[in-house]
Amino acid sequence: MAKITYIEAISMALREEMRRDSSVFCLGEDIGVYGGAFKVTKGFLEEFGSDRVLDTPIAESAIIGAATGAAIMGMRPVAEMQFADFISCGFNQLVNNAAKMHYRTGMKVPMVVRLPTGGGVHGGPFHSQNTEAWFFHTPGLKIVAPATPYDAKGLLKAAIRDDNPVLYYEHKFLYRRPEIKEEVPENDYVVEIGKGKIFREGKNAVIITYASMVHACNKAAENLAKEGFEVEVLDLRSLMPFDKELILNSVRKCNKVMIVHEATKTGGIGGEISAFINEEAFESLDAPIVRVASIDTPVPFSPPLEEFFMPNEKKITEALIKLAEF
Distance CA 280, CA 284 (A): 9
| CA distances to 76, 102, 109, 285 from 105, in Å | 18, 5, 11, 43
Percentage of the chain beyond pLDDT 70 is 100
3-state SS class at 52: coil
**115, HSE (Cβ side, Cα atoms, 13 Å):** 31
- 274-315 pLDDT, tens digit per residue, is 999 999 999 999 999 999 999 999 999 999 999 999 999 999
Looking at the chain, the whole-number percentage of residues with pLDDT higher than 90 is 99
Burial class (CB in 10 A: 0-12, 13-18, 19+), 276: middle
Q: Does residue 1 carry a pLDDT above 80?
A: no
Going by pLDDT thresholds of 50, 70 and 90, the confidence category of residue 2 is confident
Superfamily of chain region 2-184? Thiamin diphosphate (ThDP)-binding fold, Pyr/PP domains (3.40.50.970)
Catalytic positions: 127
Q: What is the pLDDT of residues 154-187, one digit of tens each?
A: 999 999 999 999 999 999 999 999 999 999 999 9
pTM as predicted? 0.97
Backbone angles phi, psi at 80, to 5 degrees: -105, 130
* Domain 2-184 and domain 197-325 have a common topology: yes
Using CA atoms, how far residue 210 sits from 136, 144, 259, in Å, is 14, 9, 9
Which residues touch 190 (CB under 8 Å, ≥6 apart)?
154, 155, 157, 158, 161
CA atoms within a 13 Å half-sphere pointing along the CA-CB vector of 266: 4
Query: Where along the chain do its domains lie?
Result: 2-184, 197-325
The CATH T-level fold of domain 197-325 is Rossmann fold (3.40.50)
Candidates 117, 127, 154; CA nearest to 269 is: 117
Calculate mean pLDDT across residues 59-65. Answer: 97
